[in-house]
């Protein structure tokens, strides 16, 4: 490979470094989005490599400056991501380094990582397992010397409509009355046999694939990113996360859990509200529940926040 030719930076034009005449003004954020950056995530003592889509910004606080130095942000991001897993300390260091790289131009810094977090999930009953994938967002903001870190995740689960379940039970009762009227012989074996037929269960409640989109702000004393713990807490509260490997015994168990865990979108929102309110790792949270109804073409939605001063706004 040939040696690169020598470069004299002093004679190369630097348009961004020239004074800006018109129009003048400050900008809230300037930087880059859609940066494809491999990063490492620490999971159960193992460093996992994932492909992240990254945004990096600083503010432009000098109205006379033509622009920022975007290459500095890119190189700092690349240096941060190489060889070591993402951590609270690392994110704080990256944000401070981004701001220091623009001391003459900027007072704030922002970074956001979006990626899919893949976890091996065991089946409910059988000796099988498969991959579950969770969309994750890690966000960091540096303002007035203070760093705020956010962790977001989307969890998919099943929800069975309580109203539909009640209506289905009513139809089953009517079918029972028609089959075992006063003239019919009523025996335990006969009822059991009839319940095992399609005529015995003439109606079923509707259920749907549902989504919990959650954003959390980490407490100031957080020393790690509780990604796996957050997912587990959300799924445990909801009770019916979607499955990966499924045999008949797993499907039957899933049907049982759905039947014993009927919920409207309001119920799901309150379940996650209660679960996150008692977790001191998060100073604030925002939850959006979406039930993608099978009954109609629109979705049922509920939204809840922790309700702290200066926290997340209760908006869709």
Contact 140, 95 (CB under 8 A): yes
Each domain of the chain, given as residue ranges in start order, spans 16-122, 148-161+206-316, 163-195
Distances (CA, A) of 216 to 57, 84, 235, 244, 279: 21, 24, 15, 26, 11
Architecture of the 16-122 domain: Roll (3.10)
Among 5-19, 132-146, 188-202, name the most confident range.
132-146
CA-based R_g, the chain, Å: 27
The conformation of residue 275, written as its DSSP 8-state character, comes to: H
Q: How many residues does the chain have?
A: 316
Average pLDDT taken over every residue of the chain: 93
Q: Which CATH number fits domain 148-161+206-316: 1.10.3720.10, 3.10.270.10, 3.40.50.720, 3.40.50.460?
A: 3.10.270.10
Query: By percentage, how much of the chain surpasses pLDDT 70?
Result: 93
**pLDDT given at position 279:** 96
Same fold, 16-122 and 148-161+206-316: yes
Full-model pTM: 0.90
The candidate with the shortest Cα–Cα distance to 109, out of 121, 128, 96, is 96
| Residue 3 vs residue 313, higher pLDDT | 313
The candidate with the shortest Cα–Cα distance to 305, out of 214, 212, 210, is 214
């Amino acid at each position: 490979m040939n040696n690169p030719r020598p470069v004299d930076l002093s004679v190369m034009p630097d348009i961004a470094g020239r004074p800006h005449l018109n129009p003048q003004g400050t900008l809230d954020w300037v930087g880059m989005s859609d940066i494809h950056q491999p990063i490492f995530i620490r999971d159960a003592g193992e460093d996992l490599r994932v492909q992240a889509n990254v945004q990096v910004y600083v503010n432009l606080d000098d109205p006379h400056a033509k622009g920022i130095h975007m290459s500095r942000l890119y190189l700092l991001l690349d240096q941060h991501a190489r060889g070591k897993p993402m951590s609270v300390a690392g994110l704080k260091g990256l944000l401070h380094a981004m701001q220091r790289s623009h001391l003459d131009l900027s007072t704030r810094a922002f970074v956001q990582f979006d990626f899919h977090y893949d976890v091996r999930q065991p089946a409910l009953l059988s000796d099988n397992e498969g991959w579950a994938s969770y969309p994750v967002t890690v966000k960091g903001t540096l303002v007035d010397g203070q760093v705020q870190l956010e962790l977001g995740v989307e969890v998919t689960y099943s929800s069975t409509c309580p109203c539909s379940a009640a209506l289905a039970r009513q139809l089953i009762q009517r079918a029972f009355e028609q089959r075992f009227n006063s003239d019919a012989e009523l025996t335990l074996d006969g009822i059991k046999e009839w319940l095992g037929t399609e005529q015995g269960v003439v109606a079923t409640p509707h259920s749907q694939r549902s989504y919990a989109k959650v954003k959390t702000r980490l407490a100031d004393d957080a020393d790690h990113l509780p990604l796996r713990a957050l997912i587990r807490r959300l799924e445990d509260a909801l009770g019916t996360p979607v499955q990966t490997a499924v045999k008949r015994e797993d499907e039957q168990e899933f049907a049982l859990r759905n039947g014993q865990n009927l919920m409207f979108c309001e119920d799901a929102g309150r379940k996650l509200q209660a679960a996150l309110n008692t977790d001191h790792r998060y100073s604030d949270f925002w939850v959006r529940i979406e039930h993608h109804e099978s009954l109609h073409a629109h979705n049922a939605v509920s939204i809840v926040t922790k309700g702290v001063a200066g926290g997340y706004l209760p908006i869709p």
